[in-house]
Amino acid sequence: MHELARRGFAVAVAVLLAAGYASCSVSEPQRRVPGWAIVDADAHGAIIFGGLDNEYRGVDRDGTTVWSTKTGLPVVGCMRTCPAAIPSTSDFARSMLWADSTDNTVSVKGTELDLAGHRMRLGGQYTTWQTSANGQHALALTTLPVRLNNEVRWFDLTPGGWRLAGPAVTVPGPRDRACVSPDGRKALLLGDPPSLLDRDGYQVKIPEIASAAGCAFTRFHAIVVELSTGAGGLNRSRLRALSPAGAVIWRLDFVGRAAICGDVTSGRVLWVLAGVLYEMDVRHGVTHRSMPGVSAACFDGEGGLVVVDPAGTARWLD
């Protein structure tokens, strides 16, 4: 497998919790106290970000730091295996979205998408890219300048590289983030309101969630989180697990802001809240573990669990 999505990730470093950073879901980065986020991880290593110096670190599975940087240039994820980082570009107007190697990359500059030399004109200047867990499918979501609607394009990975799988579909916006299902057949579009989108452009509105801030996929379900501020300034999170048809099959509401991560090999989902990791199998409503002293956590795409403590030490759990 390849890509951020194989582990339930999206390109953005995700939501900040009361105890620090945590990643795995798509949401806007925020900063409150020093902590750590997992930018990307697999069974071989991880890239983490945070600490007092806003540092990126590449660590291997035994926890050894292989590389680190404080340049301020964003590191968007790993290449074929972690912690090898997707390279940055000397062209500051160009954003790197995906890379399998230094020669096989996907990038965007203005309204031009560059698929390893195969260029495509887009309808807007802001595009995100998300792949499926099997690394064979991708979704490009482009914000249009008119009414902030979006162009959606599906891609398949062929022996000749990424190629367009069908015509672009326009969907109501604004939506600048999404998650792709493990098999690449559906995408969960964040926004107000969120929806499930299939490859033909058919959308199903997600019930019970007015505005989604984060999403992830397990092997069986889409997971969506709504973050809100209630009376007295209390932050609240509402988690929902959805069937392939978009019906709510599991729900959990609590005080606090949480980022979510799904295990694409099972029905497990996790979230980190106030420094405590919670893990549950949403198919059966069974809690697998709760673990204090965690700044960030995610699944590694092969059933393993990566946790980072407040000191920035990463370790893998079965």
Structure tokens at 257: 């802001």
Res 22: pLDDT:
33
When the pLDDT of each residue in the chain is averaged and rounded to a whole number, the result is: 86
Is the pLDDT at 14 greater than 50? The verdict is no
pLDDT at 269: 95
| Per-residue pLDDT reduced to its tens digit, 113-145 | 999 999 999 999 899 999 998 889 999 999 998
Distances (CA, A) of 264 to 68, 139, 168: 28, 18, 27
Tens-digit pLDDT profile for residues 189-233? 998 888 999 998 899 999 898 888 899 999 999 999 998 887 777
Quick: pLDDT tens for 237-274: 999 999 988 999 999 998 998 889 999 999 999 999 99
Would you state the pLDDT for residue 119?
94
Which pLDDT value is given to residue 24?
54
41 pLDDT band, cuts 50/70/90, is very high
CATH at residue 289: 2.130.10
pTM score of the predicted model: 0.86
Structure tokens at 135: 């690394």
How many domains, in total, are found in the chain? Answer: 1
Q: Which long-range contacts (CB under 8 A, 24 or more apart) does 65-70 make?
A: none
pLDDT, position 30? 38
Q: Is residue 66 pLDDT above 90, yes or no?
A: yes
Please report the pLDDT score of residue 84 as a whole number.
Answer: 95
- Which domain covers residue 269, as residue numbers? 4-317
Cα angle 125-128-132, degrees, rounded to a multiple of 5 = 155
Q: What is the mean pLDDT of residues 18-45?
A: 62
The b-or-e profile of 184-194 (16+ CB within 10 A means b, else e) is: bebbbbbbeeb
For residues 290-317, average pLDDT: 95
List, in order, residues 6 or more apart from 64 with CB less than 8 Å away.
Answer: none
Residue 191: the pLDDT is 84
pLDDT-based confidence at residue 19 (cuts at 50, 70, 90):
very low
**Is the per-residue pLDDT at 91 higher than 80?**
no
